[in-house]
Amino acid sequence: MGADGNGGGAYERDRSCLTTRITADGRDGFPVEPGRYRLVIARACPWANRAAIVRRLMGLEDVLSLGIAGPVHDERSWCFHLDPGGRDPVLGIEWLREAFLRRDPGYPHGITVPAIVDVPTGEVVTNDFERITLDLGSQWSAHQREGAPDLYPERWRDEIDDVAGKVYRDVNNGVYACGFARTQAAYDEAYRRLWQRLDWLEERLAGRRYLVGDTLTEADVRLFPTLARFDAVYHGHFKCNRQKLTELPALWAYARDLFQTPGFGDTIDFAQIKAHYHVVHQTINPTGIVPAGPDVRGWLSPHGREQLGGRPFGDGSPPGPPPPAERVPPLG
């Protein structure tokens, strides 16, 4: 998840990763090939959640298989404890670290999801969470479903990058900066920046349905996983508690709108999210007790955002339902 970096108590995420790309032309030695690769995620992880969403929106389920690490792990990081025998059925490994060490026996960085593994060799190709979603939306275009949306349209890229950058710094990573701060001053600064940005987003979304333009983009994909986890874990567990998401009218309606859009809410498993944060983060929650709440049925309540216009998929169409083996438990 990262490490404290500057000695002042502020949390700094370790963004070191394997930056090898899987591309249509195979420039890095890994060409796009149906069935060759396996995307490994964890339902609990917001960074992996992005990749799961884009894979769904692009309709890549039949060409890029999905491995799901369980929510609970130790210092060895993500493992496949939900699978029969505790092993991924395709890769045959118990721990994701095995695939990283096959790529580099001395791999010095974090064992993180999302990661894409080359099935024939069992080696991780990449765990570059920012690049993975962009490449699933572009490099895999020959295998995308008919009606797949363009999440990174050329004319909006500068604005998408600007908004997504602010969201990453102050919100996606900002909640971690609050939760893992080691001094009051570091926490106070992270909290200030988080809520300054959430107020900015609340104002921005009051009069527009999506963050950039009038369709879903990478910016929305990157904000949604944090909002989905906000009341369940970040509000209390990470001390981001000025208000709940449900108390922010525009952001709460926006989050429900996305949750009810195929490809978004059908990737969310609240039980796994709560189990991960409350059990694994022993320095924050030493008892390991997982809270029973909050009531998540409100995610299915009407959001009223249609009145703002916008076309979620642009000239495209929504994806179909997820494969049976990938379905998450229904709410309620």
Average per-residue pLDDT for the chain: 96
Q: Which of 152, 176, 254, 277 is catalytic?
A: 176
Q: Which of 43, 44, 45, 21 is nearest to 118 (CA)?
A: 21
Asked whether residue 163 falls in the same domain as residue 122, the answer is: no
Residue 36's domain spans which residues?
3-143
Alpha-carbon 228 to chain mean position: 10
Same domain for 195 and 75, yes or no, is: no
For the chain, percent of residues with pLDDT exceeding 90: 94
CATH of residue 315: 1.20.1050.10
Give the model confidence (pLDDT) of 57-100 as tens digits.
999 999 999 999 999 998 889 999 999 999 999 999 999 999 99
**Within this chain, do residues 201 and 131 fall inside the same structural domain, yes or no?**
no
- The lowest-confidence range among 1-5, 126-130, 181-185 is 1-5
Give me the residues paired with residue 42 across strands: 69
pLDDT at 2 over 70: no
Domain count, the chain: 2
Q: Is 17 a catalytic residue?
A: no
Could you tell me if residue 149 is inside a domain?
no
Among the listed residues 45, 79, 178, 240, the single catalytic one is 45
Average pLDDT over residues 251-270: 98
272-294 pLDDT, tens per residue? Answer: 999 999 999 999 999 999 999 99
| Residue reference for tokens 């989050």 | 255
Q: In terms of DSSP bridges, do strands 11-12 and 115-118 run parallel, antiparallel, or are they unpaired?
A: unpaired
Give the DSSP letter of residue 276: I
Q: What is the DSSP letter of 308?
A: G
Asked if residue 224 belongs to a domain, the reply is yes
In a domain, residue 331? The reply is no
Same domain flag for 208 and 72: no
Question: Annotated catalytic, 240?
Answer: no
pLDDT band at 189 (very low <50, low <70, confident <90, very high): very high
Choose among 201, 199, 284, 209: nearest CA to 243: 199
